[in-house]
Amino acid sequence: MKANTALCFLLLGLALYLQEDENRSRSRIARPLIILALLIASVTLIEIAFSLDLGIDQLLFSDTPDSIATSAPGRMSAPTAVAFVLTGLVMLFHTIEDRARQLIILLAIGIALSAFVSYPLNLVFGSSLFSVTGMALHTSTLFLILCSALLIERPASGWLQILFSVSPLGDNTRSLLATAILAPFLLGWLIFYGESVGWYEAGLARSTYSVAVMLLLAIVVIYNAQRLYEAESTQKLLQTDLRAVQVQLQAFLEFSPSALFVKDVSGRYQLVNSQFEKLVDKSSQEIVGAVAQNLFKGPVLDAVLGSDQTVIETKNIVLTEVTLPFGGEQRTYLNTNFPLLDPQGAVEYIGGIWTDITEQKALNDALNLKNVELERSNKELEQFAYVASHDLQEPLRMVSSYMQLLEGRYREKLDQDAKEFIDYAVDGANRMQRLIQDLLSFSRVGTRGKPPQPIDSSIALQEALQNLKMAIDESNAEVKADDLPIVMADKNQLVQVFQNLIANALKFRGEKSPQILVSVKESNGFAGFAVKDNGIGIDPKHSDRIFVIFQRLNPREQYEGTGIGLSVCKKIVERHGGRIWLESKPGKGSTFYFTFPLAREEQVPSEHVVEKSDKINQESIQERAERLI
Ligand code: ADP
């Protein structure tokens, strides 16, 4: 390798390295280096063309007389100088169009490759066309490396894009290129080697080479055609699938009652259905490619742009409600905007569904209004029941006490009929009083109820049993109870529920003395209580009716009552977010179930915890089991 050649490689190599440097002052040094290399190569070309000696060839080192002859001692060969000019130009002018750039580099590769290939052929033949070029083997190698570096520098441009692409087309191009370069060379080398060592005549070698290259190219063409055919078949299949999907999608789009669209991230509509066309009163040709500003205005436009922005920023579904004129009236739409992501997870398109909710909204509004109205009238009714029952008590008390006075004072003067009438009147007044009291307690559930707080339901049960002590003793009843949990309740109301249910169990007893069991099961944050009796039972067909106010199943002469107790229980339980129901068979006793929310651990005051653990200590497992059985 001549000294100037080595120098030019150093200059270009260094320039290539410096060009990539982030530091601008360093990368700026690259240009003079390239210009210097270009200058050396160009001057050499002038020297060769005009047989001059401008004295640059042996500036650094003087050539020994026995070195490979180029046109003058120490001078680089013409192909080397041309290759330097080509690579230097490519490096100097960045703005050269990609394909032109690649063509120039290919030209340089061609020159270097010719020299490179000539060496093995020279080895075989002693001399060849290429040996007169005078380019050293390491020079051509370095050119190949330099050119490859220049190509790889911009892999995603021009035809290199295909060569480097990770796709079947890329694979194909790479293997074809490798075959086209290597196969004729190796084949040629092998055949001509055979000729040189005397295996066969020169003529035979040439015709064998021609036939072999023909065959090889034919194989490559057929192989490639085969692959192309396969690719085409696959593509056809995919096209058929795609068409089917398109038809299906089109059907969905067109039959959808909602207006649908897809737009790109810059806001240009890509796809709309006929509902959307009707909505904006434009044809799809007018809409596709247009932006929201061309279709909407005012607050609707603001809502559309705002939700697009939010979808892009958050990659979430965004719901907005817009009202716009359609078919001569204002209609409300629920606009569901959602992102369509590319494989890298970036928003590629925005999809949207506009659903007409005008009727639904009107219904909802009407329902809400009715609810408010209902709530108000319920309150009013409750208030009315309370005031009426409260105020009725006084005159009633007067009627019954004067009746009793009448009976006491004029007993002697009245006949049997009059006495009987007075008894009826007193009895009626008493019943009315009970009714009024029950009504009062019913209306008090809502008006006087206290906010729920942690209550030990065992204590509430004990209180209810205490209130019913006389009735329990009289009926000779046996009441058993589980260890009950702490629930969130208004204590008085929980007592009232236990009391009403146990009072009913005592009242509606059968032949046998009453046996009542209160048990509990905890699940999903609720305590499910069960009050089981062995009374007369209830036909399941009445299991809803008995919770309605004033509904009774038995005649008053047989069982006293007002028909309010269970409706009070239902009102209390539901006020606490629970539910009450019944399982029963006539003659087989009844079980009333009701639920109350359990107190969460952090809501339970510490004294409850102590109380609970004491209870557990007092009662052994054995005792508990016996009690429950
Ligand atoms: P009341 O007890 O004043 O009649 P309730 O609302 O408490 O009113 O009960 C409604 C009806 O449900 C009762 O009249 C009775 O027919 C039936 N019932 C309630 N509890 C029981 C029970 N433990 N056993 C049988 N029937 C019952």
Ligand 1 centroid distance, CA of 522 (Å): 26
Q: For a substitution probing ligand 1, which of 507, 531, 546, 547 has the most ligand atoms within 8 Å of its CB? A: 546
CA neighbor of 350 nearest in space, from 270, 286, 275, 454: 270
Ligand 1 centroid distance, CA of 566 (Å): 7
Asked whether 552 lines ligand 1 (CB < 6 A), one says: yes
Separation CA 130–CA 114 (nearest Å): 6
Ligand 1 centroid distance, CA of 534 (Å): 14
pLDDT at residue 291 in the model? 95
Asked whether 508 lines ligand 1 (CB < 6 A), one says: yes
Map tokens 């080509």 to a residue: 86
Q: For a substitution probing ligand 1, which of 502, 516, 552, 567 has the most ligand atoms within 8 Å of its CB? A: 552
CA neighbor of 594 nearest in space, from 517, 498, 514: 498
594 secondary structure, DSSP code: E
Ligand 1 centroid distance, CA of 546 (Å): 7
- Whether 349 and 264 have beta carbons less than 8 Å apart is answered as yes
CA neighbor of 563 nearest in space, from 449, 470, 442, 460: 442
Residue 466: C-alpha distances to residues 167, 212, 227, 451 (Å): 87, 115, 95, 24
Ligand 1 centroid distance, CA of 295 (Å): 68
Asked whether 43 lines ligand 1 (CB < 6 A), one says: no
Q: At what angle do helices 78-92 and 30-50 cross, to 10 degrees?
A: 150
Asked whether 307 lines ligand 1 (CB < 6 A), one says: no
Separation CA 311–CA 337 (nearest Å): 7
Ligand 1 centroid distance, CA of 501 (Å): 9
CA atoms in the 13 A half-sphere facing the CB of 74:
16
Q: How many residues are present in the chain?
A: 629
68 secondary structure, DSSP code: P
Asked whether 553 lines ligand 1 (CB < 6 A), one says: yes
Ligand 1 centroid distance, CA of 472 (Å): 17
Asked whether 566 lines ligand 1 (CB < 6 A), one says: yes
CA end-to-end distance (rounded Å), the chain: 109
Beta-carbon contacts of 38 under 8 Å, excluding residues fewer than 6 positions away, are 84, 85, 88, 89, 92
Q: Whose CA is nearest to atom 12 of ligand 1?
A: 546
Asked whether 504 lines ligand 1 (CB < 6 A), one says: yes
Complete DSSP assignment for 105-127: HHHHHHHHHHHHHHHHHHHHHS-
What are 318's strand-pairing partners?
337
Asked whether 505 lines ligand 1 (CB < 6 A), one says: yes
Ligand 1 centroid distance, CA of 407 (Å): 34
Dig out the tokens for 372 from the structure: 């408010």
Asked whether 510 lines ligand 1 (CB < 6 A), one says: no
Ligand 1 centroid distance, CA of 548 (Å): 11
Ligand 1 centroid distance, CA of 95 (Å): 98
pLDDT at residue 189 in the model? 79
513 secondary structure, DSSP code: P
Asked whether 482 lines ligand 1 (CB < 6 A), one says: no
pLDDT at residue 614 in the model? 45
User: Which ranges of 158-201 would DSSP assign to H, the alpha helix?
Assistant: 160-164, 168-196
Ligand 1 centroid distance, CA of 556 (Å): 11
Complete DSSP assignment for 235-259: HHHHHHHHHHHHHHHHHHHHH-SSE
What are 478's strand-pairing partners?
515
Ligand 1 centroid distance, CA of 553 (Å): 7
Give the number of the atom of ligand 1 that is nearest the alpha carbon of residue 563. 8
Asked whether 580 lines ligand 1 (CB < 6 A), one says: no
Ranges of the chain whose pLDDT falls below 50: 130, 610-622, 624-625, 627-629
Ligand 1 centroid distance, CA of 500 (Å): 9
- Whether 594 and 573 have beta carbons less than 8 Å apart is answered as yes
Asked whether 554 lines ligand 1 (CB < 6 A), one says: yes
Map tokens 């060009």 to a residue: 19
Ligand 1 centroid distance, CA of 560 (Å): 10
576 secondary structure, DSSP code: T
Backbone φ and ψ of 539, nearest 5°: -65, 125
Asked whether 597 lines ligand 1 (CB < 6 A), one says: no
CA neighbor of 139 nearest in space, from 76, 183, 194, 190: 76
Q: Whose CA is nearest to atom 23 of ligand 1?
A: 505
Separation CA 186–CA 183 (nearest Å): 5
pTM of model > 0.75: no
Ligand 1 centroid distance, CA of 538 (Å): 9
Separation CA 152–CA 158 (nearest Å): 12
CA neighbor of 599 nearest in space, from 441, 442, 460: 460
Dig out the tokens for 593 from the structure: 């179930």
611 secondary structure, DSSP code: H
Separation CA 590–CA 531 (nearest Å): 8
Beta-carbon contacts of 530 under 8 Å, excluding residues fewer than 6 positions away, are 517, 518, 519, 520, 521, 591, 592, 593
- Whether 470 and 611 have beta carbons less than 8 Å apart is answered as no
Backbone φ and ψ of 308, nearest 5°: -60, -45
Beta-carbon contacts of 583 under 8 Å, excluding residues fewer than 6 positions away, are 540, 543, 590, 591, 593
Backbone φ and ψ of 340, nearest 5°: -110, 115
Asked whether 435 lines ligand 1 (CB < 6 A), one says: no
Separation CA 568–CA 576 (nearest Å): 13
Q: For a substitution probing ligand 1, which of 445, 468, 498, 504 has the most ligand atoms within 8 Å of its CB? A: 504
Ligand 1 centroid distance, CA of 585 (Å): 14
- Whether 104 and 154 have beta carbons less than 8 Å apart is answered as no
Strands 580-584 and 590-597, bridge-based pairing: antiparallel
Dig out the tokens for 370 from the structure: 């009715």
Give the three-class secondary structure for 606.
helix
Q: Whose CA is nearest to atom 7 of ligand 1?
A: 565
Map tokens 């005012």 to a residue: 298
pLDDT at residue 126 in the model? 52
Q: Whose CA is nearest to atom 14 of ligand 1?
A: 552
Asked whether 347 lines ligand 1 (CB < 6 A), one says: no
Asked whether 565 lines ligand 1 (CB < 6 A), one says: yes
Q: Whose CA is nearest to atom 3 of ligand 1?
A: 561
Q: Whose CA is nearest to atom 11 of ligand 1?
A: 552
CA neighbor of 614 nearest in space, from 452, 453, 459, 454: 459
CA neighbor of 39 nearest in space, from 81, 1, 74, 69: 81
pLDDT at residue 164 in the model? 79
* CB neighbour class for 536 (10 Å; exposed up to 12, middle 13-18, buried from 19): buried
Asked whether 546 lines ligand 1 (CB < 6 A), one says: yes
Separation CA 130–CA 151 (nearest Å): 25
Separation CA 230–CA 256 (nearest Å): 39
Q: Whose CA is nearest to atom 8 of ligand 1?
A: 563
What are 488's strand-pairing partners?
454
Contacts for 322-330: CB closer than 8 Å, 24+ residues apart: 324/279, 324/296, 324/300, 326/278, 326/279
Dihedral over alpha carbons 135, 139, 140, 145 (to 10 degrees): -160
The DSSP H or E segment spanning 134 is: none
Q: What is the number of other CB atoms lying within 10 angstroms of the CB of residue 305? A: 15
Separation CA 76–CA 59 (nearest Å): 13
- Specify whether the backbone of 571 is left (phi greater than 0), alpha (psi in -120 to 50) or beta: alpha
